[in-house]
Structure 1
Amino acid sequence: MHFSPGQRWISNAEPELGLGTVLRIEGRSIQVLFAKSGVLRHYAAHAAPLVRAEFRVGQKVSGKGESFTVERVETHQNLLHYHGGGHSLVEGELDDVQSLSQADERLLSGRLDRPDRFDFRLEALNRRAGARRGVDFGLAAARIALVPHQLRVAQIGASRRPVRLLLADEVGLGKTIEAGMILAQLIASGRVERALVLLPEPLVYQWFVELLRRFNLQFSIYDEERCTAIELAGDARNPFEDEQLVITDLAFLAGNPRRAEQAVAAGWDLLVVDEAHHLAWTPQAASPEYAVVETLAAATPGVILLTATPEQLGRTGHFARLRLLDPARYHDLERYVAEADGYLALSRIAAKLGDGAALDAAERRELAARLAGDDASLALLDRLDQEPAAASALLDALIDRHGTGRVMFRNRRAVVGGFPKRVPRLQLLDGATLSEDQRQRLLTEFLSDIQQPPSPHDYDYTADPRLPWLVELLEKHPRDKFLLICRSQAKVLALEEAVRTRSGINLARFHEGLSIVHRDRNAAYFADPEGARLLICSEIGSEGRNFQFAHHLILWDVPLDPDLLEQRIGRLDRIGQRNDIELHAVAFTGSAQHVLLRWYEEGLDALRQSPADGRELYKRFGPDLAERAATHALEGTDPDQELDSLIAQTRAAHEELSRLVHAGRDRLLELASSREAREETLREALAAADADLDTEDFILRLFEQFGIEHEETGPRTWVLDPEYVSTEGLSGLKDGPQQITFDRATALAREELPLLRNDHPLVVGALDLLLEGEQGNAAFLVDDALPPRTVLLEAVYVLECIAQRSLGIDRFLPPLPLRVVVDTKLQVREYKPNPVSLKKSADRAVDFNRYRKFLAQIVPPMLERCETAARDVAVREIAAAAASAQTTLGAGIARLSALRAVNPAVRAEEIEALESERAAIAEALPRARPRLDAVRFVCSQDFLSLR
Structure 2
Amino acid sequence: MYQPGQRWISTAEPELGLGTILRVEGRGVQVLFAKAGVLRPYASDSAPLVRAEFRAGQRVAGKGVAFLVERIEVREGLFVYRGEGRELEEGQLDDEQSVSQADDRLIGGRTDPVDRFDLRLEALQRHAAARRSPSWGLQSARIGLVPHQLRVAGIAAARRPPRILLADEVGLGKTIEAGMILARQLATGRSGRVLVLVPDTLVYQWFVELLRRFNLAFAIFDEDRCEAIEQSGDGRNPFEDEQLVIADFAFLEHHPKRAGQLRDAAWDLVVVDEAHHLEWSPEGASPRYELAQALAATSPGVILLTATPEQLGRTGHFARLRLLDPQRYHSLEAYIGESDGFHELSEVANTLVEGSPLSAAQRALLADRFTNDAEILAALDKKDASREILAALIDRHGTGRVMFRNRRAGIGGFPSRKPAIEVLDADGLDETHKQALLAEFRADAQQPPGPIEPDYADDPRLAALVRLLETHPDDKFLLICRSQAKVVALEEALRTRSGVGVARFHEGLGIVQRDRNAAFFASEGGARLLLCSEIGSEGRNFQFAHRLVLWDLPLDPDLLEQRIGRLDRIGQKHDIIIHVPVVADSAQHVLARWYDEGLDAFRSSPADGRELLRRFGQDLAHLADEHARGVDNRDQELEGLIVETRGVHAELSALIQSGRDHLLELASSRDLHADDLVRAFATDDDDAGRDDFIHRLFEHFGVHSEELAREVTLLDPQYLSTDGLPGFEDGPVSVTGSRELALAREELPLLRLDHPMVASAVELMVGGETGNAAFMVDDVLPARTALLQAVYVVECVADRKLDAERFLPATPIVYTVDTRLAERANFAPSDLGLRRAADRNIEVLRYRKFLAKLVPPMLEKAEALAKTHADSLVEAAIEAARTELDGEHGRLAALRAVNPSISEAELNAVATERDALLAALPAARMRLDAVRFVVSGDFLALK
> What range describes the TM-score normalised by the shorter chain of this pair?
over 0.9
TM-score of the pair, normalised by structure 2:
0.94
Aligned residues: 932
Structure 1 residues 8 and 627, CA, compared in 2 at 3 Å: closer, same or farther?
Answer: farther
Structure 1 residues 296 and 936, CA, compared in 2 at 3 Å: closer, same or farther?
Answer: same
CA offsets 1:712-744 (integer angstroms, 9 cap, x no match): 122221111111122222122232110000101
Query: Contact 1:103–1:934 at 8 Å: present in 2 too?
Result: yes
Partner residue in 2 for 1:603? 598
1:888 pairs with 2:887: no
2:908 to 907, 912, 929: 912
Query: Contact 1:255–1:288 at 8 Å: present in 2 too?
Result: no
The structural deviation recorded for 1:883 is: 1.1
The structural deviation recorded for 1:352 is: 0.4
CA offsets 1:378-402 (integer angstroms, 9 cap, x no match): 3322224xx2xx2122111101000
1:382 pairs with 2:377: no
Q: Which deviates more, 254-263 or 911-920?
A: 254-263
Q: Which deviates more, 570-579 or 847-856?
A: 847-856
Distance in 2 (CA, whole Å) between partners of 1:30 and 1:161 is 37
The structural deviation recorded for 1:432 is: 3.0
What are structure 1's unaligned runs of at least 5 residues?
A: 75-80
The structural deviation recorded for 1:63 is: 12
Query: Contact 2:11–2:49 at 8 Å: present in 1 too?
Result: no
Q: For 2:406, give the aligned amino acid.
A: N
Which residues in structure 2 correspond to 1:580-599 (within 5 Å)?
580-599=575-594
The structural deviation recorded for 1:94 is: 8.8
Distance in 2 (CA, whole Å) between partners of 1:222 and 1:25 is 38
Structure 1 residues 191 and 50, CA, compared in 2 at 3 Å: closer, same or farther?
Answer: farther
The structural deviation recorded for 1:225 is: 1.2
The structural deviation recorded for 1:162 is: 1.8
SS of the aligned residue for 1:661 comes to helix
1:481 pairs with 2:480: no
Partner residue in 1 for 2:49? 52
SS of the aligned residue for 1:941 comes to coil
Structure 1 residues 475 and 646, CA, compared in 2 at 3 Å: closer, same or farther?
Answer: same
Partner residue in 2 for 1:764? 759
Give the fraction of aligned pairs with identical amino acids, expressed as a percent.
Answer: 61
The structural deviation recorded for 1:98 is: 5.8
Partner residue in 1 for 2:85? none
Distance in 2 (CA, whole Å) between partners of 1:659 and 1:771 is 61
SS of the aligned residue for 1:502 comes to coil
CA offsets 1:240-277 (integer angstroms, 9 cap, x no match): 11111111112323443322222222211111000000
Query: Contact 1:12–1:50 at 8 Å: present in 2 too?
Result: no
The structural deviation recorded for 1:787 is: 2.1
The structural deviation recorded for 1:351 is: 0.4
The structural deviation recorded for 1:96 is: 4.8
Q: Which deviates more, 5-14 or 676-685?
A: 5-14
Distance in 2 (CA, whole Å) between partners of 1:852 and 1:765 is 34
Structure 1 residues 867 and 383, CA, compared in 2 at 3 Å: closer, same or farther?
Answer: same
Q: For 1:588, give the aligned amino acid.
A: V
Which residues in structure 2 correspond to 1:164-203 (within 5 Å)?
164-203=163-202
Structure 1 residues 373 and 15, CA, compared in 2 at 3 Å: closer, same or farther?
Answer: farther
Q: For 1:881, give the aligned amino acid.
A: A
Structure 1 residues 39 and 451, CA, compared in 2 at 3 Å: closer, same or farther?
Answer: same
Structure 1 residues 362 and 910, CA, compared in 2 at 3 Å: closer, same or farther?
Answer: same
1:119 pairs with 2:115: no
1:617 pairs with 2:616: no
Distance in 2 (CA, whole Å) between partners of 1:600 and 1:365 is 45
1:945 pairs with 2:941: yes
Query: Contact 1:103–1:935 at 8 Å: present in 2 too?
Result: yes
Query: Contact 2:626–2:634 at 8 Å: present in 1 too?
Result: no
SS of the aligned residue for 2:400 comes to helix
Q: For 2:752, give the aligned amino acid.
A: R
Distance in 2 (CA, whole Å) between partners of 1:30 and 1:306 is 46
Distance in 2 (CA, whole Å) between partners of 1:753 and 1:84 is 56
Which residues in structure 2 correspond to 1:418-433 (within 5 Å)?
418-433=413-428
Partner residue in 2 for 1:129? 128
1:139 pairs with 2:135: no
What are structure 2's unaligned runs of at least 5 residues?
A: 83-87
Distance in 2 (CA, whole Å) between partners of 1:203 and 1:69 is 68
1:153 pairs with 2:148: no
Partner residue in 2 for 1:659? 654
Partner residue in 1 for 2:546? 551
Q: Which deviates more, 745-754 or 108-117?
A: 108-117
Structure 1 residues 786 and 720, CA, compared in 2 at 3 Å: closer, same or farther?
Answer: same
Q: For 2:439, give the aligned amino acid.
A: T
Structure 1 residues 313 and 273, CA, compared in 2 at 3 Å: closer, same or farther?
Answer: closer
Distance in 1 (CA, whole Å) between partners of 2:367 and 2:11 is 60
Query: Contact 1:12–1:768 at 8 Å: present in 2 too?
Result: no
Q: For 1:843, give the aligned amino acid.
A: D
SS of the aligned residue for 1:402 comes to coil
The structural deviation recorded for 1:168 is: 0.3
CA offsets 1:426-468 (integer angstroms, 9 cap, x no match): 0112233321111100000000011111111111111212211
Distance in 1 (CA, whole Å) between partners of 2:138 and 2:616 is 42
Distance in 2 (CA, whole Å) between partners of 1:9 and 1:504 is 68
Which residues in structure 2 correspond to 1:619-658 (within 5 Å)?
619-637=614-632, 640-658=635-653
Structure 1 residues 555 and 507, CA, compared in 2 at 3 Å: closer, same or farther?
Answer: same
Q: For 1:875, give the aligned amino acid.
A: D
SS of the aligned residue for 2:743 comes to helix
Q: Once superposed, what is the RMSD of the aligned Cα atoms?
A: 3.0
Query: Contact 2:165–2:402 at 8 Å: present in 1 too?
Result: yes
Q: Which deviates more, 770-779 or 55-64?
A: 55-64
Query: Contact 1:56–1:70 at 8 Å: present in 2 too?
Result: no
Query: Contact 1:310–1:612 at 8 Å: present in 2 too?
Result: no
CA offsets 1:816-840 (integer angstroms, 9 cap, x no match): 1011112222222212211111211
Partner residue in 2 for 1:78? none
Query: Contact 2:96–2:925 at 8 Å: present in 1 too?
Result: no
The structural deviation recorded for 1:234 is: 1.9
Distance in 1 (CA, whole Å) between partners of 2:234 and 2:883 is 48
1:16 pairs with 2:8: no
Distance in 2 (CA, whole Å) between partners of 1:203 and 1:556 is 22
The structural deviation recorded for 1:884 is: 1.0
Distance in 2 (CA, whole Å) between partners of 1:339 and 1:358 is 25
Structure 1 residues 324 and 49, CA, compared in 2 at 3 Å: closer, same or farther?
Answer: farther
CA offsets 1:534-575 (integer angstroms, 9 cap, x no match): 000001111000000000000000001111111110000000
TM-score of the pair, normalised by structure 1:
0.94
Structure 1 residues 395 and 24, CA, compared in 2 at 3 Å: closer, same or farther?
Answer: farther
Structure 1 residues 559 and 70, CA, compared in 2 at 3 Å: closer, same or farther?
Answer: farther
Query: Contact 1:9–1:50 at 8 Å: present in 2 too?
Result: no
1:687 to 667, 682, 686: 682
The structural deviation recorded for 1:358 is: 2.0
Query: Contact 1:39–1:804 at 8 Å: present in 2 too?
Result: no
SS of the aligned residue for 1:821 comes to strand
Q: For 1:886, give the aligned amino acid.
A: R
The structural deviation recorded for 1:869 is: 1.6
SS of the aligned residue for 1:433 comes to coil
Distance in 2 (CA, whole Å) between partners of 1:596 and 1:813 is 60
Partner residue in 2 for 1:742? 737
Structure 1 residues 50 and 297, CA, compared in 2 at 3 Å: closer, same or farther?
Answer: farther
Q: Which deviates more, 306-315 or 163-172?
A: 306-315
Query: Contact 2:375–2:392 at 8 Å: present in 1 too?
Result: no
SS of the aligned residue for 2:828 comes to coil
Distance in 1 (CA, whole Å) between partners of 2:626 and 2:796 is 72
SS of the aligned residue for 1:731 comes to coil
1:774 pairs with 2:769: yes
1:798 to 757, 770, 793: 793
The structural deviation recorded for 1:20 is: 5.5
2:893 to 884, 894, 897: 897
CA offsets 1:868-907 (integer angstroms, 9 cap, x no match): 2221111111111111111111211111111101001011
Distance in 2 (CA, whole Å) between partners of 1:804 and 1:308 is 37
The structural deviation recorded for 1:102 is: 1.0
Query: Contact 1:68–1:84 at 8 Å: present in 2 too?
Result: no
Q: For 1:579, give the aligned amino acid.
A: H
Distance in 2 (CA, whole Å) between partners of 1:41 and 1:591 is 69
Query: Contact 2:152–2:674 at 8 Å: present in 1 too?
Result: no
Structure 1 residues 233 and 395, CA, compared in 2 at 3 Å: closer, same or farther?
Answer: same
Distance in 2 (CA, whole Å) between partners of 1:391 and 1:30 is 68
Partner residue in 1 for 2:805? 810
The structural deviation recorded for 1:100 is: 4.5
Structure 1 residues 603 and 107, CA, compared in 2 at 3 Å: closer, same or farther?
Answer: same
Partner residue in 2 for 1:463? 458
Q: For 1:246, give the aligned amino acid.
A: V
Distance in 2 (CA, whole Å) between partners of 1:941 and 1:331 is 79
